[in-house]
Chain A
Amino acid sequence: MSNVHYNRIIRKIILGFGDMFNNITLVRYNLDETEQERFVVPINYGTKELYVARLQGDPDLDKKVQITLPRFSYVLNGISYDTKRKLNTNVRKFYPLDTGAIAQYNPVPYNFEFSLYLYVRNIEDGSQIIEHILPYFTPDYTINIDLIPEMGITKGIPIILDSTEYEVTYEGNRDSDTRYVIWTLKFTAHAYLYGMISNPVGLIRNSIVNIYDFNSNNKLVKIHSTPTPTDATANDSYGYTTTVMEYPYITEGLNIPPDFDGDALTQVGIDDLLNLEERITDLK
Chain B
Amino acid sequence: MATSSYFNNYGAHSEQRLIEDIIVESIKIMGFDAFYLPNDNDAARDLLFGEDPVKKFRSAFPLELYLSNSTEYMGEKEFFSKFGLEIRNNVNVILSKRSFSQRVPQNTFTRPREGDLIYVPFMNGTGELYEIKFTNQTKDFFMLGRKVPYFYELELEKFKYSQEVIETGVDIIDEVLTQSAYTITLKVIKDFKQVYTSTNWSSGLYDNKNIIIDPKNDTFLIELGNLRIGDTILYKTTYNSDDVSAKIVGIKTFGITNYNITTDSDIIGLYELTEFTILPRNVANYGYGTYEIKETVYQSDDGTYNNATCEATLQSWAPLTGEITITNIKGEVANNSYIYGTSSNAKYYIFRTNELGTSPKNENFDNLFIENSAASYINTDENNSFGTI
Cβ–Cβ < 8 Å partners of A267 in chain B = none
B244 within 8 Å of A (CB atoms): no
Which of A34-42, A91-99, A225-233, A237-245 forms part of the interface with chain B? A34-42
Which of A138-146, A212-220, A251-259, A276-284 forms part of the interface with chain B? A138-146
| Interface pair B85/A58, CB less than 8 Å apart | yes
**B370: which of A43, A75, A178 is its contact (CB, 8 Å)?**
A43
Cβ–Cβ < 8 Å partners of A19 in chain B = 370-371, 374, 378, 384
- Kindly state the separation between the CA atoms of A47 and B82 in the bound complex, as whole angstroms: 6
Cβ–Cβ < 8 Å partners of A30 in chain B = 44, 54
How far, in Å, is B177 (CB) from chain A's closest CB? 10
A209 within 8 Å of B (CB atoms): no
Beta-carbon nearest neighbor of B161 in chain A:
A65
| Interface pair B125/A61, CB less than 8 Å apart | yes
- Kindly state the separation between the CA atoms of A69 and B87 in the bound complex, as whole angstroms: 13
Cβ–Cβ < 8 Å partners of B53 in chain A = 28, 122, 124-125
How far, in Å, is B247 (CB) from chain A's closest CB? 43
| Interface pair B80/A38, CB less than 8 Å apart | no
Beta-carbon nearest neighbor of A63 in chain B:
B362
- Kindly state the separation between the CA atoms of A47 and B81 in the bound complex, as whole angstroms: 8
| Interface pair A62/B49, CB less than 8 Å apart | no
Cβ–Cβ < 8 Å partners of A5 in chain B = none
* Interface of chain B residues 62 through 103 with chain A (CB within 8 A): 75, 78, 80, 82-89
Q: Mark B147-179, 1 if CB is under 8 A from A, else 0.
A: 000000001011111110100000000011001
Cβ–Cβ < 8 Å partners of A69 in chain B = 160-163
Cβ–Cβ < 8 Å partners of A145 in chain B = 377-379
**A23: which of B84, B363, B364, B386 is its contact (CB, 8 Å)?**
B386
Contacts A22-B366, A43-B370 hold; do A64 and B179 have CB atoms under 8 A apart? yes
Beta-carbon nearest neighbor of A47 in chain B:
B82
B357 within 8 Å of A (CB atoms): yes
**B362: which of A29, A58, A121 is its contact (CB, 8 Å)?**
A58
**B83: which of A63, A117, A122, A149 is its contact (CB, 8 Å)?**
A117
A236 within 8 Å of B (CB atoms): no
Chain A contact-residue range equals 35 or more
**A15: which of B88, B365, B370 is its contact (CB, 8 Å)?**
B370
Cβ–Cβ < 8 Å partners of B43 in chain A = 31
Q: Mark B340-368, 1 if CB is under 8 A from A, else 0.
A: 00000000000000011100011111111
How far, in Å, is B296 (CB) from chain A's closest CB? 12
* Interface of chain A residues 15 through 32 with chain B (CB within 8 A): 15-16, 18-31
| Interface pair B364/A44, CB less than 8 Å apart | yes
**A35: which of B89, B126, B131, B331 is its contact (CB, 8 Å)?**
B331
- Kindly state the separation between the CA atoms of A166 and B78 in the bound complex, as whole angstroms: 25
B124 within 8 Å of A (CB atoms): yes
- Kindly state the separation between the CA atoms of A70 and B182 in the bound complex, as whole angstroms: 11
- Kindly state the separation between the CA atoms of A154 and B87 in the bound complex, as whole angstroms: 43
Which of A49-57, A80-88, A105-113 forms part of the interface with chain B? A49-57
Q: Mark B109-146, 1 if CB is under 8 A from A, else 0.
A: 00000000000000011111101011010000000000
Q: Mark B174-189, 1 if CB is under 8 A from A, else 0.
A: 0110011110000000
What is the size, in residues, of chain B's interface with A at 8 Å between Cβ atoms?
75
B388 within 8 Å of A (CB atoms): yes
Beta-carbon nearest neighbor of B354 in chain A:
A40
**A28: which of B54, B133, B373, B387 is its contact (CB, 8 Å)?**
B54
- Kindly state the separation between the CA atoms of A64 and B157 in the bound complex, as whole angstroms: 12
* Interface of chain B residues 46 through 63 with chain A (CB within 8 A): 46, 49, 51-54
Chief secondary structure at chain A's binding surface:
mixed
A104 within 8 Å of B (CB atoms): no
Contacts A45-B366, A144-B378 hold; do A37 and B329 have CB atoms under 8 A apart? yes
Contacts A24-B386, A43-B370 hold; do A178 and B84 have CB atoms under 8 A apart? no
| Interface pair A56/B162, CB less than 8 Å apart | no
| Interface pair B127/A64, CB less than 8 Å apart | yes
- Kindly state the separation between the CA atoms of A67 and B365 in the bound complex, as whole angstroms: 12
**A53: which of B84, B134, B367 is its contact (CB, 8 Å)?**
B84
* Interface of chain A residues 59 through 78 with chain B (CB within 8 A): 59-71, 73, 75
| Interface pair A64/B378, CB less than 8 Å apart | no
**B126: which of A28, A54, A62 is its contact (CB, 8 Å)?**
A62
**A122: which of B49, B136, B387 is its contact (CB, 8 Å)?**
B49
How far, in Å, is A11 (CB) from chain B's closest CB? 9
A136 within 8 Å of B (CB atoms): yes
Cβ–Cβ < 8 Å partners of A149 in chain B = 377
Contacts A63-B124, A177-B88 hold; do A68 and B363 have CB atoms under 8 A apart? yes
Cβ–Cβ < 8 Å partners of A120 in chain B = 162
Cβ–Cβ < 8 Å partners of A187 in chain B = none
Cβ–Cβ < 8 Å partners of B82 in chain A = 46-47, 73, 75, 117
How far, in Å, is B72 (CB) from chain A's closest CB? 16
- Kindly state the separation between the CA atoms of A71 and B357 in the bound complex, as whole angstroms: 13
| Interface pair A57/B363, CB less than 8 Å apart | yes
B1 within 8 Å of A (CB atoms): no
| Interface pair B387/A12, CB less than 8 Å apart | no
A175 within 8 Å of B (CB atoms): yes
- Kindly state the separation between the CA atoms of A250 and B14 in the bound complex, as whole angstroms: 129
How far, in Å, is B123 (CB) from chain A's closest CB? 9
Cβ–Cβ < 8 Å partners of B182 in chain A = 39-40, 42
Given contacts A19-B370, A65-B160, 13 further A-B contacts (CB under 8 A): A18-B366, A28-B163, A35-B330, A38-B330, A42-B367, A57-B84, A57-B362, A59-B362, A63-B179, A65-B159, A68-B180, A68-B363, A71-B84
Q: Would you give 27 A-B contacts (Cβ < 8 Å), ordered by A?
A: A36-B330, A37-B163, A39-B163, A44-B84, A46-B82, A46-B83, A58-B85, A63-B179, A64-B175, A65-B176, A65-B179, A66-B87, A68-B163, A69-B162, A71-B84, A119-B83, A121-B160, A122-B49, A122-B53, A124-B53, A125-B162, A136-B386, A143-B379, A149-B377, A154-B379, A174-B134, A178-B131
Nearest 10 CB-CB pairings of A with B: A57-B85, A144-B379, A46-B82, A42-B365, A56-B364, A39-B182, A121-B162, A66-B158, A146-B377, A19-B374
